Amino acid sequence: MVIEREPLIEKDINNIFELSKFISIYNLKEIVTILGKIHFQKQVNPSLTYDWLQKIVEATEDKKLISKSREIKRHFVGMTTKATDNEIKISTQYSSEYFQWY
C-alpha cells in the first residue's frame, strides 16, 4: 500500500522557518514533535526535521537553544549531515525520555 502525500512547497518551508519567532527552551519539545510529524502529510525525508530545527534555532541566536538542538540531532540522527538551504529545498522537492528538554 502506497500512501499519497502532498509535495512540500516553498510556502510550507517558509511557514516551518516562521517557527523561529515562537520557539523557546520551554516549547522546544513541542516544536520538535510538530516538525517530526510533517513527513506524515508531506513528501519529505523525516531526517529533515533536525535540519529544520537547526535553521529555526539559529535564527533565534539563542545559544542555549542552539546547543540543545545540536544535542537532539546528535542523539537521534548523529551529526553526519548538514544541509544548506538549497539542499533542504532540493530534498523536499524530490522526496516522494532520556532527554531533558529544558
CATH classification of the domain holding 33: 1.10.1720.10
Cell numbers at 63, concatenated:
545559544
Write out the residue range of the structural domain in which residue 45 sits: 6-94
Q: How confident is residue 5, by pLDDT bands cut at 50, 70 and 90?
A: very high
Q: Could you tell me if residue 46 is inside a domain? A: yes
Q: Say how far apart CA 59 and CA 75 lie, in whole Å.
A: 22
Phi, psi (5° rounding) for residue 66? -60, -45
Cell numbers at 9, concatenated:
512547497
Q: Could you tell me if residue 14 is inside a domain? A: yes
Q: Could you tell me if residue 53 is inside a domain? A: yes
Cβ-based neighbour number of residue 28 at 10 Å:
21
Q: How confident is residue 74, by pLDDT bands cut at 50, 70 and 90?
A: confident
Q: Could you tell me if residue 25 is inside a domain? A: yes
Q: How many domains does the chain have?
A: 1
| Mean pLDDT, all residues of the chain | 81
Q: Could you tell me if residue 31 is inside a domain? A: yes
Q: Say how far apart CA 90 and CA 84 lie, in whole Å.
A: 10
Q: pTM of the prediction? A: 0.72
Q: Say how far apart CA 90 and CA 43 lie, in whole Å.
A: 12
